[in-house]
Amino acid sequence: MSDPQLPPDYFDKMYAAQSDPWDFETRWYEKRKYALTTAMLPKPRYRSAFEPGCSIGVLTKMLADRCDAVIATDIVPSALETARRRLAGHNVEFREWALGDDTWPDATFDLIVLSEIGYYLSVERLTEAMERTVEHLEPGGTLVCAHWRHIVPEYPQAGDGVHSLVRQTPGLAQLATYQDEDVVIDVLVKDSRPPQSVARAEGLV
């Protein structure tokens, strides 16, 4: 079976050409997506978050405001350095690490964020990564996924395929979904039962 993947130097070349190659800091699509992603989190605060593929740390900053601690990773040293400068003095630990790596952090988390990263892996590798994600997500913990829905020829998968796979991952129950022409965002909970809505959790209904 073939295992489609990006060239090993794909991201190095992207960041060599521009420090913010996807315009995370300036593009309204990105700002709006981040606002939607964080607004959909069902809890006001989390103990420990894990964000693979943090890039230059724009979303990381928003997560740090909602979490006691964050571990954020990327595979491009220059992107990590930019993120470290952005989050200097914050409750964030940065590591050079990829979602498809075999060795995961020796920790569990009550929040894991997969934003614009799943389609860089083949179906086989993403399936394995999702199994590890569930292992490292605490019972009742939140998984939020957000991905671009349009086809990018270089990527092994499209965003819709990523979310179809994520929704079928054993051990996760879907809590909320947002979708428009450009982006899909899913919030799932590690639970064998249907998760409670925010209003039900607060006793409003």
Residue 1 counted as domain residue: no
Q: Which ranges of the chain would DSSP assign to H, the alpha helix?
A: 10-17, 28-39, 58-64, 77-86, 123-136, 159-167, 198-201
Full-model pTM: 0.94
Residue 5 counted as domain residue: no
User: What CATH number does residue 58 fall under?
Assistant: 3.40.50.150
Rounded to the nearest 10°, the torsion over CA 135, 186, 46, 205 is -120
pLDDT in tens, 144-195: 999 999 999 999 999 999 999 999 999 999 999 999 999 999 999 998 788 8
Residue 100 counted as domain residue: yes
Domain residues for 172?
10-201
Residue 4 counted as domain residue: no
Residue 167 counted as domain residue: yes
Residue 120 counted as domain residue: yes
pLDDT in tens, 95-113: 999 998 989 999 999 999 9
Closest CA to 147 of 186, 205, 176: 186
Provide the number of structural domains found in the chain. Answer: 1
